[in-house]
Structure 1
Amino acid sequence: MNFIDLFAGAGGLSEGFIRQGFEPVAHIEMDAYAAQTLKTRAAYHYLKKNGRLDVYHRYLENLISRDELYQEVDSKVLKTVLNREISNQSIDELFQTIDESLENKENSAVDVLIGGPPCQAYSLVGRARDPYNKEHDPRNYLYQQYVKFLEKYKPKLFVFENVPGILTAGKGMLFEDVKRIMDEAGYNIEARILDASMFGVLQKRRRVILIGWVKGTDFFYPEFGESNHKYLVSDILNDVPALQPGETKDYLYATPPSEYLTKYGIRSDDDILVQHISRVHNEHDRGIYRLAIDKWDIEKKRLKYTDIPEENRTHKNITAFLDRFKVVAMDLNYSHTMVAHIAKDGHYYIHPDIKQLRSLSVREAARIQSFPDNFFFEGPRTATFTQIGNAVPPLMAEKIAEKIKQMLENKLDRQIELSF
């Protein structure tokens, strides 16, 4: 079963589909660092499939270069990653490249289309800051490019992911247009707000998951059961070495993996700890981090900006965004939502250990998003945080892919029965 991933980012959504046996025809992503991450992940899957993960591990340990890693991979695999913007100017060329790739496949159909246009234009925070409600933001209309792929490749099903703000942007008119053009393209659709915590992700993260299927088929929007569990955020933080601001401690874990890490495939026996990197913090911010951790540890309350002594405040605004400093509490079942703002300063993602007084490392942030430890993010630290914050959690993606796969296989089974 083949799929195309549009606006692919670092590949969180794609990762879930690959785990369920889907084959990528193309990942299209305009950000150069994210596209590089997709290539490196494609190399990982190729080498794993061919029993050569030792090559990938040498790359993680800085024993070979990225170019040397790629030389060990079939070039057709790397060419599935298209580092291009999707626009009126590029779309014909993208179609041509994808068509050429499909010609070389045993199955030349695109079974599933996945992806979600950049979501900043629809976000509630973004619209609150824009007096025109981002009415003229071109990112509001990237869904039209998505629909062009539906019309061109006619996949049996598609998955369109976005933030809840897409439902109410432009007083709901924007989403009405999304539904209208998808209907005209020949698809029934249903949209629901799903929380990543339903799927085993230790994070509260609400997203719109729109699923569409070809009219006249008996596909439907699947039901996803709740993932009730006993795990805590500490289960994804306690096995990595302690860090001070600006430190990196890679390769060796501090303790054996927790049950959660093993059960959900985030850490396996042959993994190497990489990208356990902390940003630098000044002493002023670390002092506020101490206040925030104490507030949580002693009172189980979040620090408000007005709780900070006036002489230590750097913002005059004491009426809005009062929770700009927030501890990732390890004694809860779920973290708060991981967003791309973590690339800016880390104040919203303070590590809970008062002996460390820092924000989360790259690897810790990736784990909260349910990325496995063998997933390497390319680019400087800021770029890696951005990729992580923008991603669809792979565990969530895998459960969605599993339901999509079941529907496609059931349809195939029925066709075989009818042929007899």
Structure 2
Amino acid sequence: MLEKNIEGEDVDKSALSVILDDFEKHGYDVQYRVLTAADYGVPQMRRRVIIMGIRKDLGSVDNEFYPQQIFDETGELTGRPWRTSKDGIDDLWDKVNNPNIPNHTLKDISRAKFYPGKKMQGNNRIAENRPAPTIRAEHHGNIEAHYRTTVEDATDMSGWRRLSVRECARLQSFPDSFNFVTSASSAYKAVGNAVPPVMAWHIARSVFFTLKQLEQIEFEKK
């Protein structure tokens, strides 16, 4: 099956292949890995392709470092189980409109209604004891519901509420000190489009080690 480009035309290469080939043509040794945010302490199952390349006159992919996994699903591999939605946001449930918590007022919670009996995006509650699903950028009816409910019957959607901007930010690993000074819809979009800061820190740290490795190689050559 052929891939399609942005104009809808059939092409015989994926977007990823085009990106890798273009970097190769411009003198870079390039590789990629799919990293999962939950593996780095983020309470969210967010998978992203991370591409890293080195200019060929400076080194090769053999000199690159990707961040080492430090959490896993059960903790058997790393000694640290994935952080769950409850770990990330449980303390915020009854603090809506607390002036000390930014982006967590009634105005910061999508009011899009739920649809009983329908299986559709945003019509679900996140799981309490697992990392949250990927936080999406488009809000309206696409932000999932909190795992808690205000009524006894957990299937009764009248007791559900959608995640606030702050709860989405927490699940993305933003600190509470990071205040989104914009409308809720714009804030939801900014949060959903972001690379989780904690995951980004681990990637940046790996890039730093890669650069130090290249410096050492250059030093030894001299």
TM-score norm. by structure 2 comes to: 0.76
Partner of 1:337: 134
> Quick one: structure 1 residues 286 and 188, their matched pair in 2 at CA, closer, same or farther if it must change by over 3 Å?
closer
1:250 equivalent to 2:99? Answer yes
Partner of 2:6: 135
Distance (whole Å) between structure 2 residues aligned to residue 400 and residue 175 of structure 1: 19
Cα offset for 1:345?
2.6
8 Å contact kept, 1:286–1:358: no
Mapping of residues 30-49 of structure 1, within 5 Å: none
Partner of 2:176: 373
Q: Secondary structure at the match of 1:399?
A: helix
1:239 equivalent to 2:34? Answer no
**Unaligned segments of structure 1, at least 5 residues:** 1-131, 138-168, 252-272, 289-303, 306-320
Aligned pair partner of 2:148 in 346, 353, 359: 353
> Quick one: structure 1 residues 225 and 135, their matched pair in 2 at CA, closer, same or farther if it must change by over 3 Å?
same
> Quick one: structure 1 residues 361 and 344, their matched pair in 2 at CA, closer, same or farther if it must change by over 3 Å?
same
8 Å contact kept, 1:190–1:221: no
**Unaligned segments of structure 2, at least 5 residues:** 73-79, 151-158
For 1:339, give the aligned amino acid. Answer: R
Distance (whole Å) between structure 1 residues aligned to residue 110 and residue 120 of structure 2: 23
Distance (whole Å) between structure 2 residues aligned to residue 192 and residue 171 of structure 1: 22
Cα offset for 1:240?
2.1
Distance (whole Å) between structure 2 residues aligned to residue 286 and residue 187 of structure 1: 49
Partner of 1:183: 24
Partner of 2:124: 326
> Quick one: structure 1 residues 232 and 173, their matched pair in 2 at CA, closer, same or farther if it must change by over 3 Å?
closer
For 2:133, give the aligned amino acid. Answer: H
Instruction: Note the alpha carbon deviations across 1:242-285, whole angstroms, 9 max, x for none.
Output: 26xxx63230xxxxxxxxxxxxxxxxxxxxx2111343637xx3
> Quick one: structure 1 residues 173 and 368, their matched pair in 2 at CA, closer, same or farther if it must change by over 3 Å?
closer
Partner of 2:69: 225
Which stretch of structure 1 is more off in the superposition, 364-373 or 219-228?
A: 219-228
> Quick one: structure 1 residues 287 and 411, their matched pair in 2 at CA, closer, same or farther if it must change by over 3 Å?
closer
8 Å contact kept, 1:241–1:249: no
Q: Sequence identity, in percent?
A: 25
8 Å contact kept, 1:250–1:275: no
8 Å contact kept, 2:41–2:71: yes
> Quick one: structure 1 residues 236 and 225, their matched pair in 2 at CA, closer, same or farther if it must change by over 3 Å?
closer
> Quick one: structure 1 residues 397 and 353, their matched pair in 2 at CA, closer, same or farther if it must change by over 3 Å?
same
1:412 equivalent to 2:208? Answer no
For 2:209, give the aligned amino acid. Answer: Q
Partner of 1:308: none
Instruction: Note the alpha carbon deviations across 1:194-249, whole angstroms, 9 max, x for none.
Output: 21111111111111111111103143353632413344311112222526xxx632
> Quick one: structure 1 residues 133 and 185, their matched pair in 2 at CA, closer, same or farther if it must change by over 3 Å?
closer
Partner of 1:300: none
8 Å contact kept, 2:88–2:171: yes
Partner of 1:45: none
1:215 equivalent to 2:67? Answer no
Instruction: Note the alpha carbon deviations across 1:5-62, whole angstroms, 9 max, x for none.
Output: xxxxxxxxxxxxxxxxxxxxxxxxxxxxxxxxxxxxxxxxxxxxxxxxxxxxxxxxxx
> Quick one: structure 1 residues 173 and 322, their matched pair in 2 at CA, closer, same or farther if it must change by over 3 Å?
closer
- Higher alpha-carbon Rg: 1
Residues matched between the structures, number: 198
8 Å contact kept, 2:122–2:144: no
Distance (whole Å) between structure 1 residues aligned to residue 105 and residue 84 of structure 2: 22
* CA RMSD in angstroms, aligned pairs only: 2.8
For 1:325, give the aligned amino acid. Answer: N
Distance (whole Å) between structure 2 residues aligned to residue 223 and residue 240 of structure 1: 30
Higher helix share: 1
Mapping of residues 13-412 of structure 1, within 5 Å: 133=4, 135-136=6-7, 170-216=11-57, 217-218=59-60, 219-222=63-66, 224-228=68-72, 229-230=80-81, 231-242=83-94, 248-251=97-100, 273-278=101-106, 279=109, 281=111, 285=113, 288=116, 305=118, 322-330=120-128, 332-341=129-138, 343-346=139-142, 348-355=143-150, 357-412=160-215
> Quick one: structure 1 residues 172 and 194, their matched pair in 2 at CA, closer, same or farther if it must change by over 3 Å?
farther
Distance (whole Å) between structure 2 residues aligned to residue 287 and residue 208 of structure 1: 33
